[in-house]
Amino acid sequence: MARWTAGIASVALGLSALLVPTAPVTAAPDRPAPEPAVAQECGTDLKQHAETLAATGKSGTATCIRKQARKADRVTTGAGVAADICGGSPTLTRTAACVIEDGILLIFTVPNGAVIGSIQFTVSSLTTLDHGSLRWSQSWHYQANSVAGPAIPAVLDSLVYAEPECLASCTVSSSGLVGGSALPGRVHSTTTYFNSPLSGYKWGAHGGMRYWFANSAWVNPTTNASITAPAVHRCDDALPGYPSGCVYDSVRPVHDVLSSRYPSYARHLQLAINHFKMTDILTRTQNETIIDRNYNTACPPGHPKPTAPGVWSCDEYPYKSTYNGAYSQPYGRNIVIINWNTGSGFNCNASWLDIRSPTDSGGYSVCMIPLAENTLGGSDLGAFHYNISMLSTSAEFGA
């Protein structure tokens, strides 16, 4: 088979585990969510932050959110729903991004900064793009994995809220506020749909979910909002005849050529890349002049053909539809491989080119292969360009 692949450390708490009620406290449906704070950063020194709050005349309990380094065993058995949306680990593909973030909500006293409780939680988010649409979805999950501290309102009555936010070149087409108890025992989930307005050749788009915690028992009843968002993705309207769509163009696309389907075509590619070390990173071009020059260089008009015209077709590597094609290469070669022990071998029959020596590498290669394989292989390559919305993106080819 040939392939073209186009926190902080945990806070130690000397606290007893809190027994979680079977029916967690949730926000009343008719009660609007309190807005997140706009400036409530607590830094790394809780005592200093507590003293700052006390200087404004406040006393009681306050909170601080800190992100934590992801640990493989962070999510315990029976509480892994949020992480399962990502299969247990963050991922990024051409059309999907999964983000997992661990955090801890610290509840401490004002004015002395002593931690009296905590909620360790995980949020995960799966964003799914469509190469044929400017609309995408983002599923977001929250779960609390553990809680510690006394059974007091400052711990028990903690709530979490989330809502979608457009970060660049988009609008929110459907979704709403989600929220309820921040304690273990319930997973909060929502799916948001974003749209990106048509903005020309290509542009970056970005959506996310912002979430925050609230509790009327805290001196500041809400925390700052955190954002769960993947990387910026590319949307485009660049390909004539292709639909507008979005992809993560930082991901190098992959094109598979199956030897079971295309024995001669795949063998040519395998020899060119693996045996003769030709470039395995190709960059697509849509410039018709370059494409024509590449093909006419590799397969010149009137090039000699094997017997049975109409049965054989001229196949070139690197592809004519790339900036790496024959016109850009210093020379081309014909591949002839002979096993003198068995008498078997592989002959590309590109007789207008010199035979490639065993130590030769680079340049371009030409091979006469069955017409049906070349035609269907070309159709597969075109579908590949279509399905991954490939502009001038580089791709990696391996066998």
Determine what percent of the chain is predicted with pLDDT higher than 70.
82
Q: Find the domain containing 151 and state its range.
A: 7-247
One domain for residues 221 and 77 = yes
The fraction of the chain above a pLDDT of 90, given in percent, is 52
Domain limit, last residue, from 221, 247, 273: 247
What confidence tier does 71 reach under pLDDT thresholds 50, 70, 90?
Answer: low
- 226 with 301, same domain: the answer is no
Q: Are residues 263 and 292 in the same domain?
A: yes
Q: Is 214 found in the same domain as 294?
A: no
| Statement to judge: residues 205 and 294 lie in one domain | no
Co-location of 307 and 337 in the same domain: yes
**1 occurs within a structural domain:** no
Q: Are 392 and 252 in contact (CB under 8 A)?
A: no
Residue 228 has pLDDT above 90, yes or no: yes
Mean pLDDT, range 76-101, rounded to an integer: 73
Q: Kindly report the pTM of this predicted structure.
A: 0.79
Closest CA relative to residue 5, chosen from 348, 252, 270, 374: 252
**C-beta atoms surrounding 41 within 10 Å:** 10
Give me the pLDDT at residue 355, please: 94
Q: What is the mean pLDDT of residues 49-61?
A: 87
Amino acid at 217: A
pLDDT (average), residues 209-236:
93
Burial 180-191 (b: 16+ CB within 10 A, else e): bbbbbebbbbbe
Let me know if residue 2 belongs to a domain: no
Q: Is residue 131 over pLDDT 80?
A: yes
- Read off the pLDDT of each residue in 319-323 and give the average, rounded to a whole number: 94
Mean per-residue pLDDT over the chain, rounded: 83
Out of 32-41, 160-169, 359-368, which region has the weakest mean confidence (pLDDT)? 32-41
The pLDDT tens digits of the residues spanning 138-161 come to: 999 999 999 999 999 999 999 999
> Tens digits of per-residue pLDDT, 182-214?
999 888 999 999 999 988 888 999 999 999 999
The mean-pLDDT minimum among 21-25, 86-90, 323-327 falls in: 21-25
3-state SS assignment for residue 156: helix
Is residue 160 in a domain? yes
Q: Are residues 50 and 81 in the same domain?
A: yes
Confidence of residue 382 (pLDDT cuts 50, 70, 90): confident
Location of structure tokens 């510690």 = 148
Question: pLDDT (tens digit, 9 = 90+) per residue, 346-365?
Answer: 899 999 999 999 888 889 99
Total structural domains within the chain: 2
Tell whether the model's pLDDT for residue 6 goes beyond 50.
Answer: no
Digit-coded pLDDT (tens) for 164-184: 999 999 999 877 789 999 999
Buried (b) or exposed (e) across 223-244, using 16+ Cβ within 10 A?
bbbbebbbebbbbbbbbeebeb
Domain closes at, from 196, 212, 247: 247
Mean pLDDT of 258-286: 90
Domain-terminating residue out of 206, 230, 247 = 247
Q: Is residue 191 in a domain?
A: yes
User: Do 170 and 319 reside in the same domain of the chain?
Assistant: no
**Whole-number pLDDT of residue 23:** 36
